[in-house]
């Protein structure tokens, strides 16, 4: 154990000759790896520069160790080759192995000091290595090289170990720490001076590679290729902390290689709806018809009914409400398309109503004078036809009853008289509403609303599914389908939340109206040409500066009151009904609502809070901000005003806050009949 | 307009990594739409650098309104009609990184906005390394000065469940609630009306906690669990495919799992333990409390909760963009 170190002879000649023979063999194998490529091998990053440094150190110190240094580099390259093939299993061997042999070998002083740390078996090895001319290493006592020098030795160690293991018929070098760190194993026989021949080692490498190149059953990819792909991907993309995402990367690489995405013949079926929608919206962007450019421009520059949606959207964005700008632009184009298709006098974007599977974009329009919609007449005919059908049913019922011996008592209940709906262009039916689900799709007209529908709509709370012909299943039963329910809600919201700054609208100059209409109020207004905007701060301070400009809907469901019993007397029904009418004449009171243009401050409070919230859009720059009014009754109704500009919009899923606020969540549960597909 | 903007934009980006990932899976209309939107919002020329930084950060965008991807997230979630005004957006972009620095959070997310009568609360949440750890909630009235809220406790929830009505908007506002309490006095038991004061801050905390527990969602695969315990953002998450995006089972509640243990062994065998460690939305009660919609053709999937109206979750399939925001009355 305490063998004195021999004199540093230059016995490098024999080993160098050996080395050169190896070199000649190995040169074929990727010998000329460029030096900078070394650091790329991740596991050798700490080693390589230091090995190189140590190499150069060796070169510098001993000129006559040329063969040595030559031998060093190819062996290093051999290492690298083996590393490539066997995925650093050998590299792993390199690390710890030198540690044992190092101190005793490089520094004889240290060796002597540390004494019995190292194994006797290693001593022989050290002697041999010393004799091989590593005397130069003695001169390098800097601690910086302590870890690196052993690598060179480690290579030798490894080769030695190769022989050992070969002798044990194990072609692979396993990264077992026990092999390196327990040099005192009895089975650890000393090494021969001769480095074994290359063929067994090469054979081992080739066996390993062949094993890795086996293609797996499920995929035509071998582990070797997969690992190569994985490493290539990591090195290309350089993710941070690759170790923690190794499994995900593995899975991704596997997926990528086994399922190629490109398919030039077939379109991607999943993207089909996107492309369809894009096509449809593209039609919006193109100008309709060929036409001469200039004439069309002139026509368009003239006044159109299409509102300036972008301006509205800008102001609403200041208020923190609204759809994104590109959506607003598409809505603008859709409105333009609507104006071209229908004879429209005025048009306004009312808002958006969210539904379960689709949403509605609502446009409020009024047709030009004289353009009475044909659809309306058809609807009236259908209604009359329906009533005609009812009458024969009743007669048949009566006949049956006469035949029965047991006369079933007739129910005393008569359905309440049907209140006629308001004429178009007046009251709740002042405007027509068109809906579409997305800009680019065709606009559908909503039917007029009847008072019954409004009354029933007040009692139920249902989500919209997005399909206009969906039935509305509820209790109390709603007469109509989703289109009617939507229209009724729109009517209620409009009546409650159409507001404008005080003074913008004024009444026409007709003074005798109040008496004639029995106090029902005026129902028309016109713009005030002398309107000068109210300062924004005043608009925010008090709600008295805002007025309703839509008629309030009476409990009856109409804006102007109609005595239902008078209608019955005019119609000629069965005699019984006349009698009933006389009996039922219970002094129906006229319903009165607040007149038009009443300020907001007179709105009834709900649950101890005012129904409107006013705010400045931006407190940091009050001179340019916009006054925003938000309804607490209909969440989602907003109006803004700034100077002479004002507007309102509604975006909501239509929930009316009423006294049942606390049970709102329960109502949601009740209303869940529409399960979206 | 779209054609003229696009080449200069991509030149500016210089083909950085964030660009293809963020826009993959979206139709050309949506892309030009986004660019148009950015240009129209006036964000283009003066804030080009900020935009570039945002696009670069998109490859890391995940979760509720990450401060880095705030602009894009707001754009995508705007379908519900509620958004933020430009001055609020600017304040958020400025103040959220400061919050991150001051409180040493790993990520700061903008949670949403609770509308009050007098003022609105803007809520942000700070996350640590472990994504499922309890989050710190901050609120602000003007998006500039943020105050930390105490964590929610059971007691708070019980206390505030009696308060109804809208939020006032004033954090020091106190709700009065009269209770009948039995008081023992010398052998006699009689009931007395006691007025309990509940602060609005407490109510805010419990509402945010309820909303988070009930409807905060995240797509499957966005987070993964390591064997050591902590849950990390999955950086290789490439987004859900379109068929997956339409199914409720591909979204998880962003909270500790409650129903996972009740699953049968057969169901558990199909799960991947590193990805499926949270409850999915499939078995939510009440049934049908989620509305799934595809916008812009199939380029964006939006989930809206019907239980807490105002919560919008968006996800662009096949991309990393996803997030949720709550704008409502609480």
Per-residue confidence band for A518, with pLDDT thresholds at 50, 70 and 90: very low
| Substitution target from A268, A324, A605 for chain B, most B beta carbons within 10 A | A324
Better pLDDT: B183 or A125: B183
Determine, for residues A329 and B36 on separate chains, whether the beta-carbon distance falls below 8 Å.
yes
Per-residue confidence band for A565, with pLDDT thresholds at 50, 70 and 90: low
Say yes or no: B264 contacts chain A, CB-CB below 8 A: no
Determine, for residues B165 and A636 on separate chains, whether the beta-carbon distance falls below 8 Å.
no
Tell me which of A436-450, A508-522, B220-234 is least confident.
A508-522
What pLDDT score does A556 carry?
73
The top-scoring range by mean pLDDT among A10-19, A281-290, A425-434, B320-329 is B320-329
Buried b (16+ CB within 10 A) or exposed e, B141-151: bebeebeebee
Residue of B nearest to A244 (CA): B226
pTM of the model: 0.61
Determine, for residues A322 and B165 on separate chains, whether the beta-carbon distance falls below 8 Å.
no
Give the minimum alpha-carbon distance from A428 to chain B in angstroms, rounded to a whole number: 26
What pLDDT score does A150 carry?
47
Tens of pLDDT, residues B100-126: 888 888 888 888 888 887 788 888 888
Enter the tokens of residue A36.
């900078």
Q: For residue B289, which residues of chain A lie inside 8 Å, CB to CB?
A: 668, 672
The three-point CA angle B256-B262-B265 to 5° equals: 120
Scanning B192-221 for CB atoms below 8 A from A yields none
Q: Which of B64, B78, B72, B71 is nearest to B22 (CA)?
A: B72
The number of beta carbons lying within 10 Å of the beta carbon of residue A400 is 10
Determine, for residues B86 and A318 on separate chains, whether the beta-carbon distance falls below 8 Å.
yes
Residue of A nearest to B297 (CA): A274
Q: For residue A351, which residues of chain B lie inside 8 Å, CB to CB?
A: 81
Say yes or no: B260 contacts chain A, CB-CB below 8 A: no
3-state secondary structure chain B: CHHHHHHHHHHHHCCCCHHHHHHCCCCHHHHHHHHHHHHHCCCCCCCHHHHHHHHHHHHHCCCCCEHHHHHHHHHHHHHHCECCCHHHHHHHHHHHHHHHHHHCCCEEEEEEEECECCCCEEEEEEECCCCCCCCEEEEECCCCCCEECCCCCHHHHHHHCCCCCCECCCCCCEEEEEEEEEEEECCEEEEEEEEEEEEHHHHHHHHHHHHHHHHCEEECCCEEECCCCCEEECCCCCCCCHHHHCCHHHEEECCCCCCHHHCCHHHHHHCCCCCCCCCEHHHCCCCCCEEEEEECCCCEEEEEECCCCCEEEEECCCCCCEEEEEEECC
Nearest CB partner across the interface for A323, out of B81, B234, B274? B81
Determine, for residues B36 and A326 on separate chains, whether the beta-carbon distance falls below 8 Å.
yes
Give the minimum alpha-carbon distance from A175 to chain B in angstroms, rounded to a whole number: 24
The three-point CA angle A235-A238-A244 to 5° equals: 105
The three-point CA angle B59-B62-B65 to 5° equals: 115
Tell me which of A32-41, A307-316, B273-282 is least confident.
A32-41
What pLDDT score does B3 carry?
40
Task: Say what percent of chain A tops pLDDT 90.
Answer: 0
Give the minimum alpha-carbon distance from B87 to chain A in angstroms, rounded to a whole number: 7
For residues B264 and A271, give the distance between their C-alpha atoms in angstroms, rounded to a whole number: 36
Tens of pLDDT, residues A150-165: 444 444 444 444 444 4
Tens of pLDDT, residues A664-677: 222 222 222 222 22
**What parts of chain B have a pLDDT lower than 50?**
1-32, 35, 42-44, 46-63
Tens of pLDDT, residues A79-123: 444 444 444 444 434 444 444 444 444 444 444 444 444 445 555
What pLDDT score does B307 carry?
82
Determine, for residues B164 and A662 on separate chains, whether the beta-carbon distance falls below 8 Å.
yes
Q: For residue A24, is pLDDT > 50? A: no
Q: For residue A460, is pLDDT > 50? A: yes
Nearest CB partner across the interface for B117, out of A609, A621, A675? A609
Residue of A nearest to B233 (CA): A245
Q: For residue A582, is pLDDT > 70? A: no
For residues A448 and A124, give the distance between their C-alpha atoms in angstroms, rounded to a whole number: 106
Q: Which residues contact B4 (CB under 8 A, 6 or more apart)?
A: none
Q: Which residues contact A541 (CB under 8 A, 6 or more apart)?
A: A614
Helix, strand, coil percent values for chain A (each to nearest 5): 50, 10, 40
Give the minimum alpha-carbon distance from A580 to chain B in angstroms, rounded to a whole number: 46
What pLDDT score does B250 carry?
84
Is B85 in contact with A319 (CB distance < 8 Å)? yes
Determine, for residues B86 and A662 on separate chains, whether the beta-carbon distance falls below 8 Å.
no
What pLDDT score does A71 carry?
43
Per-residue confidence band for A371, with pLDDT thresholds at 50, 70 and 90: low
B148 forms beta bridges with B138
Nearest CB partner across the interface for A675, out of B36, B86, B288? B288
Give the minimum alpha-carbon distance from A459 to chain B in angstroms, rounded to a whole number: 20
Average of per-residue pLDDT across A637-656: 64
Say yes or no: B184 contacts chain A, CB-CB below 8 A: no
What pLDDT score does A101 carry?
42
Q: For residue A632, which residues of chain B lie inside 8 Å, CB to CB?
A: 117, 166
Q: For residue B85, which residues of chain A lie inside 8 Å, CB to CB?
A: 317-320, 617-618
Tell me which of A269-283, A501-515, B122-136 is least confident.
A501-515
Tens of pLDDT, residues A170-219: 555 555 555 554 445 454 445 544 555 678 889 999 888 888 887 777 66
Tell me which of A260-274, A313-327, A395-409, A444-458 is least confident.
A395-409
Q: For residue B242, which residues of chain A lie inside 8 Å, CB to CB?
A: 270-271
Q: For residue B226, which residues of chain A lie inside 8 Å, CB to CB?
A: 244
Q: Which of A438, A325, A277, A279 is nearest to B35 (CA)?
A: A325
Phi and psi at B183, nearest 5°, equal -120, 130
On the 0-12 / 13-18 / 19+ scale of CB atoms within 10 A, B187 is exposed
Better pLDDT: A50 or A334: A334
Nearest CB partner across the interface for A248, out of B78, B234, B287? B234
3-state secondary structure A497-530: HCEEECCCEEECCCCCHHHHCCCCCCCCEEECCC
Average of per-residue pLDDT across A43-47: 44
Per-residue confidence band for A21, with pLDDT thresholds at 50, 70 and 90: very low
What pLDDT score does B141 carry?
85
């Amino acid at each position: 154990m305490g063998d004195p170190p021999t004199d540093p002879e230059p016995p490098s000649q024999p080993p160098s000759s050996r080395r050169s023979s190896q070199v000649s063999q190995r040169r074929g194998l990727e010998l000329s790896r460029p030096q900078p490529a070394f650091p790329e091998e991740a596991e050798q990053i700490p080693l390589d520069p230091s090995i190189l440094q140590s190499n150069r150190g060796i070169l510098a110190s001993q000129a006559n160790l040329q063969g040595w240094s030559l031998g060093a580099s190819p062996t290093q390259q051999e290492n690298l080759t083996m590393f490539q093939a066997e995925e650093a299993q050998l590299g792993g061997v390199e690390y710890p192995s030198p540690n044992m042999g190092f101190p005793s070998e490089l520094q004889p002083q240290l060796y002597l000091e540390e004494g019995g740390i190292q194994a006797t078996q290693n001593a022989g090895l050290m002697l041999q290595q010393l004799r091989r001319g590593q005397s130069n290493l003695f001169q390098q006592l800097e601690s910086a090289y302590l870890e690196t020098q052993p690598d060179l030795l480690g290579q030798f160690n490894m080769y030695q170990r190769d022989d050992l293991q070969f002798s044990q018929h194990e072609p692979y070098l396993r990264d077992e720490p026990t092999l390196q760190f327990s040099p005192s194993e009895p089975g650890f026989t000393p090494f021969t001076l001769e480095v074994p021949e290359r063929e067994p080692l090469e054979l081992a490498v080739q066996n390993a590679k062949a094993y890795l190149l086996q293609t797996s059953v499920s995929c035509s990819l071998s582990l070797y290729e997969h690992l190569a792909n994985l490493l290539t991907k990591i090195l290309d993309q350089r993710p941070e902390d690759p170790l923690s995402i190794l499994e995900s990367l593995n899975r991704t690489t596997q997926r990528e290689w086994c399922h190629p995405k490109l398919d030039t013949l077939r379109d991607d079926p999943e993207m089909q709806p996107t492309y369809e929608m894009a096509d449809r919206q593209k039609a919006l962007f193109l100008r309709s018809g060929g036409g001469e450019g200039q004439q069309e421009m002139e026509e368009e520059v003239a006044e159109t009914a299409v509102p300036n949606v972008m301006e509205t959207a800008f102001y609403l964005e200041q208020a923190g409400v609204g759809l994104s700008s590109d959506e607003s632009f598409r809505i603008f184009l859709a409105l333009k398309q609507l104006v071209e298709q229908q004879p429209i006098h005025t048009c306004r974007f009312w808002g958006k109503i969210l539904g379960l599977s689709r949403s509605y974009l609502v446009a409020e329009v009024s047709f030009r004078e004289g353009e009475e919609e044909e659809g309306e007449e058809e609807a009236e005919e259908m209604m009359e036809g329906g009533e005609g059908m009812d009458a024969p049913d009743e007669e048949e019922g009566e006949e049956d009853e006469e035949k029965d011996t047991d006369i079933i008592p007739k129910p005393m209940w008569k359905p309440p008289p049907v209140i006629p709906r308001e004429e178009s262009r007046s009251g709740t039916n002042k405007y027509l509403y068109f809906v579409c689900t997305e800009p680019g799709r065709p606009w559908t007209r909503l039917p007029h609303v009847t008072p019954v529908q409004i009354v029933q709509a007040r009692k139920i709370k249902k989500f919209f599914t997005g399909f206009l012909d969906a039935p509305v299943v509820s209790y109390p039963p709603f007469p109509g389908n989703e289109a009617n329910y939507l229209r009724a809600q729109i009517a209620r919201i409009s009546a409650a939340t159409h507001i404008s700054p005080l003074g913008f609208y004024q009444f026409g100059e007709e003074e005798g109206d109040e008496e004639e209409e029995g106090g029902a109020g005026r129902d028309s207004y016109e713009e005030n040409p002398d309107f000068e905007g109210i300062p924004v701060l005043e608009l925010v301070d008090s709600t008295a500066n805002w007025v309703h400009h839509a008629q309030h809907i009476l409990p009856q469901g109409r804006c102007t009151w109609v005595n239902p019993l008078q209608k019955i007397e005019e119609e000629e029904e069965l005699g019984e009904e006349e009698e009933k009418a006389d009996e039922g004449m219970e002094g129906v009171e006229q319903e009165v609502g607040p007149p038009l243009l009443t300020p907001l401050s007179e709105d009834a409070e709900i649950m101890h809070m005012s129904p409107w919230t006013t705010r400045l859009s931006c407190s940091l720059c009050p001179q340019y901000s916009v006054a925003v009014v938000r309804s607490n009754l209909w969440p989602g109704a907003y109006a803004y005003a700034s100077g002479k500009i004002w507007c309102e919009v509604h975006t909501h899923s239509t929930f009316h806050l009423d006294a049942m606020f606390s049970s709102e969540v329960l109502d949601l549960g009740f209303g869940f009949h529409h399960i979206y597909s | 307009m779209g054609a003229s903007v696009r080449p200069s934009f991509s030149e500016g980006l210089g083909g950085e990594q964030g660009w293809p990932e963020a826009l993959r899976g979206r139709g050309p209309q949506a892309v030009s739409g986004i660019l148009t939107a950015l240009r129209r919002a006036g964000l283009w020329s003066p804030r080009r650098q900020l935009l570039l930084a945002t696009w670069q950060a998109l490859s890391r965008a995940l979760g509720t309104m990450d401060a880095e991807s705030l602009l894009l997230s707001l754009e995508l979630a705007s379908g519900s009609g509620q958004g933020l005004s430009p001055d609020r957006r600017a304040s958020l972009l400025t103040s959220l990184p400061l919050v991150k620095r001051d409180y040493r959070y790993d990520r700061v997310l903008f949670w949403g906005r609770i509308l009050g009568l007098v003022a609105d609360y803007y809520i942000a949440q700070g996350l640590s390394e472990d994504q499922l750890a309890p989050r710190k909630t901050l609120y602000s009235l003007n998006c500039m000065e943020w105050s930390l809220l105490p964590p929610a406790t059971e007691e708070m929830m019980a206390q505030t469940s009696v308060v109804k009505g809208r939020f006032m908007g004033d954090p020091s506002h106190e709700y009065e609630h009269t209770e009948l309490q039995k008081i023992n006095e010398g052998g006699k038991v009689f009931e007395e009306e006691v007025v309990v004061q509940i602060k609005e801050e407490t109510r805010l905390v419990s509402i945010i906690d309820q909303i988070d527990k009930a409807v905060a969602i995240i797509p499957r695969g966005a987070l993964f669990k390591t064997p050591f315990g902590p849950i990390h953002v999955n950086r290789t998450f490439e987004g859900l495919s379109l068929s997956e995006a339409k199914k409720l089972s591909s979204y998880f509640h962003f909270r500790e799992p409650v129903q996972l243990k009740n699953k049968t062994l057969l169901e558990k065998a199909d799960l991947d333990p590193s990805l499926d460690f949270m409850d999915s939305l499939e078995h939510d009660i009440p049934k049908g409390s989620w509305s799934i919609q595809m916008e812009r053709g199939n380029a964006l999937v939006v989930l809206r909760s019907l239980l807490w109206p105002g919560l919008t979750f968006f996800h662009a399939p096949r991309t990393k963009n996803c997030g949720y925001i709550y704008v409502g009355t609480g």
